[in-house]
Structure 1
Protein backbone atom coordinates (compact mmCIF):
# COMPACT_ATOMS: atom_id res chain seq x y z
CA UNK A 1 0.00 0.00 0.00
CA UNK A 2 1.33 3.45 -0.94
CA UNK A 3 1.44 6.15 1.75
CA UNK A 4 -0.51 9.29 0.82
CA UNK A 5 1.12 12.43 2.22
CA UNK A 6 0.69 16.19 2.07
CA UNK A 7 3.54 18.23 3.54
CA UNK A 8 4.29 21.94 3.05
CA UNK A 9 7.04 24.38 4.05
CA UNK A 10 10.29 23.02 5.47
CA UNK A 11 8.83 19.52 5.68
CA UNK A 12 8.15 19.57 1.94
CA UNK A 13 11.86 19.99 1.22
CA UNK A 14 12.47 16.45 2.49
CA UNK A 15 10.28 15.13 -0.33
CA UNK A 16 12.28 17.04 -2.92
CA UNK A 17 15.60 15.76 -1.59
CA UNK A 18 14.27 12.20 -1.34
CA UNK A 19 13.07 12.35 -4.95
CA UNK A 20 16.38 13.81 -6.21
CA UNK A 21 18.40 11.12 -4.42
CA UNK A 22 16.17 8.43 -5.86
CA UNK A 23 16.36 9.96 -9.36
CA UNK A 24 20.16 10.17 -9.24
CA UNK A 25 20.50 6.66 -7.83
CA UNK A 26 18.59 5.08 -10.72
CA UNK A 27 21.49 5.97 -13.04
CA UNK A 28 23.96 3.16 -13.79
CA UNK A 29 26.75 5.68 -13.02
CA UNK A 30 25.17 6.89 -9.78
CA UNK A 31 27.34 8.89 -7.37
CA UNK A 32 25.31 8.09 -4.26
CA UNK A 33 23.75 4.71 -5.10
CA UNK A 34 20.91 5.39 -2.68
CA UNK A 35 18.72 2.51 -3.82
CA UNK A 36 16.86 2.63 -0.51
CA UNK A 37 15.57 6.10 -1.43
CA UNK A 38 14.42 4.82 -4.83
CA UNK A 39 12.41 2.09 -3.12
CA UNK A 40 10.85 4.54 -0.65
CA UNK A 41 9.72 6.90 -3.43
CA UNK A 42 7.83 4.01 -5.02
CA UNK A 43 5.92 3.55 -1.75
CA UNK A 44 4.70 7.16 -1.50
CA UNK A 45 1.54 8.47 -3.17
CA UNK A 46 2.63 11.99 -4.08
CA UNK A 47 3.09 14.17 -7.15
CA UNK A 48 6.84 14.67 -6.88
CA UNK A 49 6.95 16.53 -10.18
CA UNK A 50 5.35 19.61 -8.65
CA UNK A 51 8.35 20.03 -6.33
CA UNK A 52 10.88 20.52 -9.10
CA UNK A 53 12.01 24.08 -9.65
CA UNK A 54 13.84 24.98 -12.85
CA UNK A 55 17.25 23.30 -12.83
CA UNK A 56 16.05 20.23 -10.97
CA UNK A 57 17.93 17.88 -13.29
CA UNK A 58 21.26 19.42 -12.31
CA UNK A 59 20.25 19.70 -8.66
CA UNK A 60 20.20 15.92 -8.38
CA UNK A 61 23.98 15.98 -8.76
CA UNK A 62 24.42 18.79 -6.26
CA UNK A 63 22.42 16.79 -3.74
CA UNK A 64 24.25 13.55 -4.52
CA UNK A 65 27.66 15.22 -4.13
CA UNK A 66 26.60 16.76 -0.81
CA UNK A 67 25.22 13.51 0.56
CA UNK A 68 28.20 11.48 -0.64
CA UNK A 69 30.67 13.83 1.04
CA UNK A 70 28.75 13.68 4.32
CA UNK A 71 28.47 9.89 3.96
CA UNK A 72 32.25 9.64 3.55
CA UNK A 73 32.90 11.80 6.62
CA UNK A 74 30.35 9.78 8.60
CA UNK A 75 31.94 6.47 7.59
CA UNK A 76 35.35 7.84 8.55
CA UNK A 77 34.09 8.86 12.01
CA UNK A 78 32.49 5.45 12.58
CA UNK A 79 35.72 3.68 11.60
CA UNK A 80 37.60 5.72 14.19
CA UNK A 81 34.86 5.48 16.82
CA UNK A 82 33.11 2.10 16.51
CA UNK A 83 31.41 2.70 19.87
CA UNK A 84 29.72 6.04 19.26
CA UNK A 85 26.45 7.94 19.02
CA UNK A 86 25.17 9.49 15.78
CA UNK A 87 22.57 12.27 15.87
CA UNK A 88 21.05 12.94 12.45
CA UNK A 89 19.19 16.19 13.07
CA UNK A 90 16.36 17.19 10.74
CA UNK A 91 16.76 13.79 9.09
CA UNK A 92 13.63 14.06 6.94
CA UNK A 93 13.36 10.91 4.83
CA UNK A 94 17.11 10.48 4.39
CA UNK A 95 18.25 6.86 4.36
CA UNK A 96 21.85 7.44 5.51
CA UNK A 97 21.67 4.94 8.38
CA UNK A 98 20.47 2.27 5.94
CA UNK A 99 22.73 2.96 2.96
CA UNK A 100 25.85 3.09 5.15
CA UNK A 101 25.00 0.12 7.34
CA UNK A 102 25.41 0.47 11.10
CA UNK A 103 28.47 -1.10 12.72
CA UNK A 104 27.77 -3.11 15.85
CA UNK A 105 28.16 -0.74 18.81
CA UNK A 106 26.89 2.40 17.07
CA UNK A 107 23.76 4.02 18.48
CA UNK A 108 22.06 6.03 15.71
CA UNK A 109 19.25 8.52 16.37
CA UNK A 110 17.25 10.12 13.56
CA UNK A 111 15.52 13.28 14.85
CA UNK A 112 12.78 15.29 13.15
CA UNK A 113 9.29 16.67 13.68
CA UNK A 114 6.74 14.13 14.98
CA UNK A 115 4.74 13.84 11.73
CA UNK A 116 7.96 13.26 9.77
CA UNK A 117 9.04 10.54 12.17
CA UNK A 118 5.58 8.93 12.00
CA UNK A 119 6.03 8.65 8.23
CA UNK A 120 9.59 7.33 8.57
CA UNK A 121 8.36 4.53 10.81
CA UNK A 122 5.97 3.40 8.07
CA UNK A 123 8.61 3.49 5.33
CA UNK A 124 11.83 2.26 6.95
CA UNK A 125 12.51 -0.96 8.87
CA UNK A 126 13.74 -1.16 12.44
CA UNK A 127 17.43 -1.92 12.97
CA UNK A 128 19.46 -2.89 16.01
CA UNK A 129 21.08 0.27 17.34
CA UNK A 130 18.73 2.55 15.38
CA UNK A 131 16.04 4.81 16.89
CA UNK A 132 13.85 7.68 15.76
CA UNK A 133 12.81 10.65 17.91
CA UNK A 134 9.89 12.90 17.01
CA UNK A 135 10.75 16.44 18.12
CA UNK A 136 11.81 19.82 16.84
CA UNK A 137 15.60 20.00 17.09
CA UNK A 138 15.25 23.41 18.75
CA UNK A 139 13.54 21.81 21.75
CA UNK A 140 15.70 20.45 24.55
CA UNK A 141 13.85 17.48 26.06
CA UNK A 142 14.75 15.04 23.27
CA UNK A 143 18.40 15.27 24.29
CA UNK A 144 17.53 13.52 27.55
CA UNK A 145 17.07 10.31 25.52
CA UNK A 146 20.65 10.34 24.19
CA UNK A 147 23.50 8.58 26.03
CA UNK A 148 26.40 10.91 26.79
CA UNK A 149 29.24 8.52 27.57
CA UNK A 150 30.29 7.97 23.92
CA UNK A 151 31.84 10.15 21.20
CA UNK A 152 29.05 11.81 19.23
CA UNK A 153 28.72 12.62 15.55
CA UNK A 154 26.12 15.30 14.80
CA UNK A 155 24.87 15.47 11.21
CA UNK A 156 22.87 18.58 10.30
CA UNK A 157 22.39 18.23 6.54
CA UNK A 158 20.03 20.77 5.01
CA UNK A 159 19.11 22.14 8.44
CA UNK A 160 21.06 25.09 9.81
CA UNK A 161 20.14 27.46 6.97
CA UNK A 162 16.44 27.09 7.90
CA UNK A 163 17.03 28.08 11.53
CA UNK A 164 17.74 31.61 12.71
CA UNK A 165 21.25 32.41 13.85
CA UNK A 166 20.11 32.54 17.49
CA UNK A 167 18.43 29.15 17.16
CA UNK A 168 21.63 27.71 15.71
CA UNK A 169 23.71 29.15 18.52
CA UNK A 170 21.38 27.71 21.16
CA UNK A 171 21.37 24.29 19.48
CA UNK A 172 25.16 24.15 19.26
CA UNK A 173 25.49 25.29 22.88
CA UNK A 174 23.13 22.52 24.00
CA UNK A 175 25.26 19.97 22.16
CA UNK A 176 28.57 21.10 23.65
CA UNK A 177 27.01 21.39 27.12
CA UNK A 178 25.81 17.80 26.95
CA UNK A 179 28.56 15.90 25.10
CA UNK A 180 32.24 15.78 25.95
CA UNK A 181 33.45 15.52 22.37
CA UNK A 182 32.77 14.55 18.80
CA UNK A 183 32.24 16.08 15.38
CA UNK A 184 29.66 18.22 13.60
CA UNK A 185 28.91 17.84 9.89
CA UNK A 186 26.70 20.34 8.08
CA UNK A 187 26.22 22.29 4.87
CA UNK A 188 25.87 26.02 4.45
CA UNK A 189 25.24 28.80 1.94
CA UNK A 190 27.03 32.10 1.44
CA UNK A 191 25.23 35.30 2.58
CA UNK A 192 24.27 36.33 -0.94
CA UNK A 193 22.35 33.08 -1.43
CA UNK A 194 20.39 33.60 1.79
CA UNK A 195 19.55 37.17 0.77
CA UNK A 196 18.43 35.94 -2.66
CA UNK A 197 16.01 33.38 -1.20
CA UNK A 198 14.53 36.07 1.01
CA UNK A 199 14.01 38.36 -1.98
CA UNK A 200 12.42 35.42 -3.81
CA UNK A 201 10.29 34.40 -0.83
CA UNK A 202 6.94 34.90 -2.57
CA UNK A 203 7.93 32.84 -5.59
CA UNK A 204 9.35 30.11 -3.37
CA UNK A 205 6.23 30.15 -1.20
CA UNK A 206 4.05 29.48 -4.24
CA UNK A 207 6.01 26.24 -4.67
CA UNK A 208 5.73 25.56 -0.95
CA UNK A 209 9.39 26.26 -0.17
CA UNK A 210 10.66 28.41 2.73
CA UNK A 211 13.47 30.95 2.56
CA UNK A 212 16.84 30.52 4.24
CA UNK A 213 17.65 32.45 7.42
CA UNK A 214 21.27 31.72 8.31
CA UNK A 215 24.38 32.08 6.16
CA UNK A 216 27.90 30.79 6.73
CA UNK A 217 30.07 33.83 6.08
CA UNK A 218 33.39 32.01 6.26
CA UNK A 219 34.86 28.71 7.41
CA UNK A 220 35.44 29.96 10.98
CA UNK A 221 31.85 31.09 11.54
CA UNK A 222 30.93 28.25 13.91
CA UNK A 223 34.01 28.91 16.07
CA UNK A 224 32.76 32.46 16.63
CA UNK A 225 29.33 31.15 17.60
CA UNK A 226 30.76 28.59 20.02
CA UNK A 227 34.48 28.44 20.96
CA UNK A 228 34.22 24.72 21.77
CA UNK A 229 34.09 23.98 18.04
CA UNK A 230 37.26 23.80 15.97
CA UNK A 231 37.35 23.91 12.20
CA UNK A 232 38.60 20.71 10.52
CA UNK A 233 37.80 21.07 6.82
CA UNK A 234 35.28 22.20 4.25
CA UNK A 235 34.53 21.12 0.71
CA UNK A 236 32.82 23.35 -1.90
CA UNK A 237 30.33 21.11 -3.65
CA UNK A 238 31.44 22.35 -7.09
CA UNK A 239 34.99 21.13 -6.40
CA UNK A 240 33.65 17.56 -6.66
CA UNK A 241 32.63 18.03 -10.31
CA UNK A 242 34.81 15.15 -11.56
CA UNK A 243 32.39 12.65 -9.98
CA UNK A 244 29.45 13.79 -12.15
CA UNK A 245 28.82 11.23 -14.92
CA UNK A 246 26.88 13.55 -17.28
CA UNK A 247 29.27 15.68 -19.30
CA UNK A 248 27.17 18.84 -19.62
CA UNK A 249 26.73 19.10 -15.85
CA UNK A 250 30.33 18.07 -15.17
CA UNK A 251 31.56 20.90 -17.39
CA UNK A 252 29.10 23.37 -15.85
CA UNK A 253 30.19 22.55 -12.31
CA UNK A 254 33.84 22.64 -13.35
CA UNK A 255 33.36 26.19 -14.63
CA UNK A 256 31.58 27.09 -11.39
CA UNK A 257 34.56 25.76 -9.47
CA UNK A 258 36.89 28.13 -11.32
CA UNK A 259 35.07 31.25 -10.06
CA UNK A 260 35.38 31.94 -6.30
CA UNK A 261 31.85 33.36 -5.92
CA UNK A 262 30.20 30.33 -7.51
CA UNK A 263 32.67 27.82 -6.04
CA UNK A 264 32.12 28.94 -2.46
CA UNK A 265 28.40 29.70 -2.51
CA UNK A 266 27.61 26.25 -1.09
CA UNK A 267 29.95 24.10 1.00
CA UNK A 268 30.00 21.09 3.32
CA UNK A 269 31.74 21.60 6.66
CA UNK A 270 33.38 19.39 9.27
CA UNK A 271 34.09 20.63 12.81
CA UNK A 272 35.37 18.93 15.93
CA UNK A 273 34.52 19.72 19.54
Structure 2
Protein backbone atom coordinates (compact mmCIF):
# COMPACT_ATOMS: atom_id res chain seq x y z
CA UNK A 1 0.00 0.00 0.00
CA UNK A 2 2.95 2.30 -0.63
CA UNK A 3 2.26 5.29 -2.79
CA UNK A 4 4.17 8.31 -4.03
CA UNK A 5 4.04 11.95 -3.09
CA UNK A 6 5.64 14.32 -0.61
CA UNK A 7 4.01 15.38 2.64
CA UNK A 8 5.06 18.10 5.03
CA UNK A 9 6.25 17.34 8.54
CA UNK A 10 3.53 17.89 11.15
CA UNK A 11 3.80 21.43 12.52
CA UNK A 12 6.96 21.87 14.60
CA UNK A 13 6.93 24.50 17.36
CA UNK A 14 9.62 27.20 17.36
CA UNK A 15 10.72 26.17 20.84
CA UNK A 16 10.94 22.63 22.12
CA UNK A 17 8.85 21.29 24.96
CA UNK A 18 10.67 19.30 27.63
CA UNK A 19 11.90 16.17 25.92
CA UNK A 20 13.84 14.35 28.59
CA UNK A 21 16.93 14.58 26.38
CA UNK A 22 19.70 16.11 28.47
CA UNK A 23 22.61 16.42 26.01
CA UNK A 24 23.41 20.04 25.18
CA UNK A 25 24.91 19.35 21.76
CA UNK A 26 22.84 18.88 18.62
CA UNK A 27 21.49 15.35 18.39
CA UNK A 28 21.81 13.18 15.33
CA UNK A 29 19.90 10.02 14.59
CA UNK A 30 22.12 7.08 13.71
CA UNK A 31 19.59 4.56 12.44
CA UNK A 32 20.47 2.60 9.34
CA UNK A 33 18.60 0.45 6.86
CA UNK A 34 15.89 -1.63 8.59
CA UNK A 35 16.11 0.48 11.75
CA UNK A 36 15.34 3.68 9.85
CA UNK A 37 12.07 2.25 8.55
CA UNK A 38 10.66 2.66 12.08
CA UNK A 39 10.69 6.42 11.41
CA UNK A 40 8.52 5.94 8.32
CA UNK A 41 6.04 3.95 10.40
CA UNK A 42 6.03 6.66 13.06
CA UNK A 43 5.55 9.38 10.45
CA UNK A 44 2.71 7.45 8.82
CA UNK A 45 0.86 7.33 12.13
CA UNK A 46 1.47 11.05 12.65
CA UNK A 47 0.11 11.92 9.19
CA UNK A 48 -2.93 9.75 9.80
CA UNK A 49 -3.60 11.57 13.07
CA UNK A 50 -3.77 14.85 11.13
CA UNK A 51 -6.10 13.44 8.45
CA UNK A 52 -9.69 14.66 8.17
CA UNK A 53 -10.93 11.21 9.23
CA UNK A 54 -8.10 9.48 11.15
CA UNK A 55 -8.01 5.68 11.21
CA UNK A 56 -5.77 5.37 14.27
CA UNK A 57 -5.67 8.88 15.73
CA UNK A 58 -2.25 8.48 17.37
CA UNK A 59 -1.63 11.99 18.71
CA UNK A 60 1.49 10.82 20.57
CA UNK A 61 3.06 10.03 17.18
CA UNK A 62 2.56 13.67 16.13
CA UNK A 63 4.36 14.90 19.25
CA UNK A 64 7.19 12.39 18.78
CA UNK A 65 7.72 13.48 15.15
CA UNK A 66 7.89 17.12 16.28
CA UNK A 67 10.49 16.28 18.91
CA UNK A 68 12.63 14.24 16.53
CA UNK A 69 12.46 17.04 13.97
CA UNK A 70 13.38 19.72 16.51
CA UNK A 71 15.93 17.92 18.72
CA UNK A 72 17.47 15.53 16.20
CA UNK A 73 16.97 17.59 13.03
CA UNK A 74 15.47 14.62 11.21
CA UNK A 75 13.77 15.65 7.98
CA UNK A 76 10.75 13.36 7.67
CA UNK A 77 9.90 14.89 4.29
CA UNK A 78 12.65 12.83 2.69
CA UNK A 79 10.54 9.72 3.33
CA UNK A 80 7.94 11.13 0.92
CA UNK A 81 5.01 9.33 2.47
CA UNK A 82 1.71 9.85 0.66
CA UNK A 83 -1.75 9.83 2.28
CA UNK A 84 -2.04 6.25 0.99
CA UNK A 85 1.18 5.27 2.77
CA UNK A 86 -0.06 6.82 6.01
CA UNK A 87 -3.41 5.10 5.71
CA UNK A 88 -1.71 1.75 5.13
CA UNK A 89 0.41 2.17 8.28
CA UNK A 90 -2.66 3.19 10.29
CA UNK A 91 -4.79 0.30 8.98
CA UNK A 92 -2.17 -2.24 10.01
CA UNK A 93 -1.67 -0.71 13.46
CA UNK A 94 -5.42 -0.43 14.04
CA UNK A 95 -6.04 -4.11 13.26
CA UNK A 96 -3.24 -5.24 15.57
CA UNK A 97 -4.61 -2.93 18.27
CA UNK A 98 -8.06 -4.52 17.89
CA UNK A 99 -6.74 -8.06 18.26
CA UNK A 100 -4.54 -7.12 21.22
CA UNK A 101 -7.36 -5.23 22.95
CA UNK A 102 -9.68 -8.24 22.58
CA UNK A 103 -7.06 -10.49 24.13
CA UNK A 104 -6.59 -8.13 27.08
CA UNK A 105 -10.35 -7.88 27.55
CA UNK A 106 -10.42 -11.68 28.00
CA UNK A 107 -7.32 -11.83 30.22
CA UNK A 108 -7.12 -9.36 33.09
CA UNK A 109 -3.76 -10.87 34.05
CA UNK A 110 -1.57 -11.36 31.00
CA UNK A 111 1.80 -10.74 29.37
CA UNK A 112 2.27 -8.81 26.14
CA UNK A 113 5.46 -9.20 24.11
CA UNK A 114 5.86 -6.54 21.41
CA UNK A 115 8.61 -7.56 18.98
CA UNK A 116 10.55 -4.90 17.11
CA UNK A 117 8.56 -2.15 18.85
CA UNK A 118 10.40 0.78 17.26
CA UNK A 119 8.70 4.00 18.40
CA UNK A 120 5.23 2.49 18.41
CA UNK A 121 2.87 3.72 21.14
CA UNK A 122 0.56 0.71 21.35
CA UNK A 123 0.86 0.42 25.13
CA UNK A 124 -0.29 4.03 25.49
CA UNK A 125 -3.10 3.62 22.96
CA UNK A 126 -4.47 0.50 24.68
CA UNK A 127 -3.61 1.55 28.26
CA UNK A 128 -3.70 -1.97 29.77
CA UNK A 129 -4.72 -2.55 33.37
CA UNK A 130 -2.46 -3.23 36.36
CA UNK A 131 -2.57 -7.00 35.84
CA UNK A 132 -0.77 -6.76 32.49
CA UNK A 133 3.02 -7.02 32.13
CA UNK A 134 4.11 -5.46 28.85
CA UNK A 135 7.53 -5.96 27.22
CA UNK A 136 8.81 -3.95 24.22
CA UNK A 137 11.87 -5.42 22.48
CA UNK A 138 14.15 -3.76 19.91
CA UNK A 139 17.80 -3.01 19.16
CA UNK A 140 19.67 -1.19 21.97
CA UNK A 141 19.95 2.07 20.00
CA UNK A 142 16.20 1.99 19.29
CA UNK A 143 15.33 1.36 22.93
CA UNK A 144 17.70 4.17 23.98
CA UNK A 145 15.88 6.55 21.65
CA UNK A 146 12.54 5.27 22.86
CA UNK A 147 13.48 5.92 26.50
CA UNK A 148 14.39 9.52 25.62
CA UNK A 149 11.14 10.21 23.81
CA UNK A 150 8.40 8.18 25.48
CA UNK A 151 7.37 7.96 29.15
CA UNK A 152 7.81 4.95 31.39
CA UNK A 153 4.82 3.47 33.21
CA UNK A 154 4.00 0.77 35.71
CA UNK A 155 4.07 -2.79 34.40
CA UNK A 156 6.11 -1.76 31.37
CA UNK A 157 9.62 -3.02 30.52
CA UNK A 158 11.84 -2.33 27.52
CA UNK A 159 14.43 -4.92 26.51
CA UNK A 160 17.39 -3.67 24.40
CA UNK A 161 18.19 -6.61 22.15
CA UNK A 162 17.93 -7.93 18.65
CA UNK A 163 14.73 -9.98 18.60
CA UNK A 164 16.66 -12.89 17.10
CA UNK A 165 18.98 -13.21 20.12
CA UNK A 166 17.57 -16.14 22.15
CA UNK A 167 18.91 -14.81 25.47
CA UNK A 168 16.30 -12.09 26.08
CA UNK A 169 13.39 -14.55 26.14
CA UNK A 170 14.40 -15.64 29.66
CA UNK A 171 13.29 -12.19 30.90
CA UNK A 172 9.69 -12.87 29.85
CA UNK A 173 7.42 -14.43 32.52
CA UNK A 174 5.98 -17.80 31.57
CA UNK A 175 3.14 -17.99 34.07
CA UNK A 176 0.37 -16.05 32.28
CA UNK A 177 -1.45 -16.07 28.93
CA UNK A 178 0.81 -14.26 26.47
CA UNK A 179 0.03 -11.98 23.53
CA UNK A 180 2.87 -11.77 20.99
CA UNK A 181 2.68 -8.83 18.57
CA UNK A 182 4.96 -8.12 15.60
CA UNK A 183 4.28 -5.19 13.28
CA UNK A 184 6.35 -4.61 10.17
CA UNK A 185 9.05 -6.96 11.42
CA UNK A 186 8.94 -10.52 10.16
CA UNK A 187 9.60 -9.67 6.50
CA UNK A 188 12.97 -8.18 7.52
CA UNK A 189 14.06 -11.48 9.09
CA UNK A 190 15.16 -14.57 7.22
CA UNK A 191 12.74 -17.48 7.28
CA UNK A 192 15.02 -19.34 9.71
CA UNK A 193 15.23 -16.32 12.03
CA UNK A 194 11.49 -15.64 11.94
CA UNK A 195 10.32 -19.20 12.45
CA UNK A 196 12.87 -19.81 15.22
CA UNK A 197 11.78 -16.62 17.00
CA UNK A 198 8.07 -17.43 16.96
CA UNK A 199 8.59 -21.08 17.89
CA UNK A 200 10.89 -20.07 20.77
CA UNK A 201 8.27 -17.72 22.18
CA UNK A 202 5.42 -20.20 21.79
CA UNK A 203 7.48 -22.85 23.57
CA UNK A 204 8.25 -20.41 26.39
CA UNK A 205 4.69 -19.19 26.99
CA UNK A 206 2.00 -21.38 28.58
CA UNK A 207 -0.40 -20.39 25.80
CA UNK A 208 -1.82 -17.30 24.20
CA UNK A 209 -2.13 -15.54 20.86
CA UNK A 210 -0.05 -14.14 18.02
CA UNK A 211 -0.87 -11.05 15.94
CA UNK A 212 1.39 -9.97 13.09
CA UNK A 213 1.63 -8.95 9.44
CA UNK A 214 3.56 -10.90 6.81
CA UNK A 215 4.48 -10.46 3.17
CA UNK A 216 3.98 -13.03 0.45
CA UNK A 217 6.89 -14.49 -1.52
CA UNK A 218 5.73 -12.32 -4.46
CA UNK A 219 5.97 -9.18 -2.28
CA UNK A 220 9.56 -10.11 -1.39
CA UNK A 221 10.44 -10.50 -5.06
CA UNK A 222 8.76 -7.16 -5.83
CA UNK A 223 10.36 -5.27 -2.93
CA UNK A 224 11.92 -2.81 -5.36
CA UNK A 225 8.42 -1.30 -5.57
CA UNK A 226 8.49 -0.50 -1.84
CA UNK A 227 9.86 3.04 -1.79
CA UNK A 228 10.50 3.20 1.96
CA UNK A 229 12.56 0.02 1.77
CA UNK A 230 14.50 1.32 -1.22
CA UNK A 231 15.14 4.79 0.28
CA UNK A 232 16.46 3.43 3.56
CA UNK A 233 18.56 0.70 1.98
CA UNK A 234 16.67 -1.98 3.90
CA UNK A 235 16.12 -5.46 2.52
CA UNK A 236 13.18 -7.83 2.85
CA UNK A 237 13.81 -11.57 3.23
CA UNK A 238 10.93 -13.72 4.47
CA UNK A 239 7.80 -14.20 2.42
CA UNK A 240 5.15 -16.70 3.50
CA UNK A 241 1.46 -17.54 3.34
CA UNK A 242 -1.21 -19.16 5.51
CA UNK A 243 0.18 -22.64 4.88
CA UNK A 244 3.65 -21.50 5.93
CA UNK A 245 2.26 -19.90 9.08
CA UNK A 246 0.31 -23.06 9.97
CA UNK A 247 3.53 -25.08 9.81
CA UNK A 248 5.12 -23.02 12.58
CA UNK A 249 3.76 -25.27 15.30
CA UNK A 250 1.20 -28.05 15.80
CA UNK A 251 -0.10 -25.89 18.69
CA UNK A 252 -0.86 -22.98 16.39
CA UNK A 253 -4.31 -22.27 14.95
CA UNK A 254 -5.04 -19.37 12.58
CA UNK A 255 -8.08 -17.54 13.95
CA UNK A 256 -8.22 -14.72 11.38
CA UNK A 257 -6.34 -14.13 8.15
CA UNK A 258 -6.95 -10.76 6.47
CA UNK A 259 -5.52 -9.06 3.42
CA UNK A 260 -4.25 -5.56 4.13
CA UNK A 261 -6.67 -4.25 1.48
CA UNK A 262 -9.65 -6.04 3.04
CA UNK A 263 -9.41 -5.02 6.71
CA UNK A 264 -12.65 -3.61 8.15
CA UNK A 265 -11.19 -0.11 8.49
CA UNK A 266 -10.58 0.20 4.72
CA UNK A 267 -13.95 1.92 4.51
CA UNK A 268 -12.42 4.94 6.28
CA UNK A 269 -9.93 5.56 3.48
CA UNK A 270 -10.36 8.58 1.20
CA UNK A 271 -12.43 7.74 -1.90
CA UNK A 272 -9.43 7.41 -4.25
CA UNK A 273 -7.66 5.02 -1.89
CA UNK A 274 -10.80 2.97 -1.30
CA UNK A 275 -11.00 2.50 -5.06
CA UNK A 276 -7.34 1.43 -5.18
CA UNK A 277 -7.96 -1.06 -2.36
CA UNK A 278 -11.02 -2.51 -4.10
CA UNK A 279 -9.06 -2.87 -7.34
CA UNK A 280 -6.13 -4.53 -5.54
CA UNK A 281 -8.52 -6.93 -3.80
CA UNK A 282 -9.61 -8.28 -7.20
CA UNK A 283 -6.06 -9.29 -8.18
CA UNK A 284 -5.00 -12.26 -6.00
CA UNK A 285 -1.24 -11.71 -6.31
CA UNK A 286 -1.61 -8.05 -5.31
CA UNK A 287 -4.29 -8.70 -2.67
CA UNK A 288 -2.10 -11.24 -0.91
CA UNK A 289 1.15 -9.24 -0.94
CA UNK A 290 0.50 -8.16 2.64
CA UNK A 291 -1.68 -10.16 5.00
CA UNK A 292 -2.42 -9.98 8.72
CA UNK A 293 -2.63 -13.06 10.92
CA UNK A 294 -4.31 -13.58 14.28
CA UNK A 295 -3.38 -16.97 15.74
CA UNK A 296 -3.96 -18.89 18.95
CA UNK A 297 -1.52 -21.38 20.46
What TM-score comes out, normalization by structure 1 length? 0.92
2:87 touches 2:269 (CA, 8 Å); kept in 1?
Answer: no
Match of 2:24 in 1: none
Check if 1:180 corresponds to 2:214: no
Match of 2:243 in 1: 220
Query: Secondary structure of 1:225's match?
Result: coil
Q: 2:274 aligns with which of 250, 254, 257?
A: 250
- For the structure 1 residues 244 and 227, does the alpha-carbon distance in structure 2 shift closer, same or farther, using more than 3 Å as the test? same
| Farther off after superposition, 71-80 or 27-36 | 27-36
Match of 2:49 in 1: 25
Match of 1:108 in 2: 134
Shift of 1:120: 0.4
Shift of 1:242: 4.0
Match of 2:288 in 1: 264
2:91 touches 2:266 (CA, 8 Å); kept in 1?
Answer: no
Task: Please give the alpha-carbon distance, in whole angstroms, between the structure 2 residues aligned to 1:200 and 1:167.
Answer: 24
Task: Please give the alpha-carbon distance, in whole angstroms, between the structure 2 residues aligned to 1:61 and 1:182.
Answer: 29
Task: Please give the alpha-carbon distance, in whole angstroms, between the structure 2 residues aligned to 1:70 and 1:120.
Answer: 20
2:79 touches 2:228 (CA, 8 Å); kept in 1?
Answer: no
Check if 1:16 corresponds to 2:40: yes
Task: Please give the alpha-carbon distance, in whole angstroms, between the structure 2 residues aligned to 1:246 and 1:35.
Answer: 20
Q: Deviations over 1:153-205 (max 9, x none)?
A: 000111111100111121122112211101111101111110122x679x877
1:21 touches 1:32 (CA, 8 Å); kept in 2?
Answer: yes
**Which stretches in structure 2 are left out of the alignment for 5+ residues?**
1-15, 20-26
2:37 touches 2:228 (CA, 8 Å); kept in 1?
Answer: no
**Which stretches in structure 1 are left out of the alignment for 5+ residues?**
none
1:169 touches 1:226 (CA, 8 Å); kept in 2?
Answer: no
Match of 1:236 in 2: 259
Match of 2:6 in 1: none
What TM-score comes out, normalization by structure 2 length? 0.85
Superposition pairs of residues 202-213 of structure 1, within 5 angstroms = 207-213=231-237
- The number of aligned residues is 268
The RMSD of aligned alpha carbons is 1.9
Match of 1:61 in 2: 87
Check if 1:81 corresponds to 2:104: no
2:218 touches 2:285 (CA, 8 Å); kept in 1?
Answer: no
| Farther off after superposition, 13-22 or 224-233 | 224-233
- For the structure 1 residues 59 and 204, does the alpha-carbon distance in structure 2 shift closer, same or farther, using more than 3 Å as the test? closer
Match of 1:147 in 2: 173
Q: Deviations over 1:126-176 (max 9, x none)?
A: 111111110011111211111110000000111111100111121122112
Query: Secondary structure of 2:236's match?
Result: coil
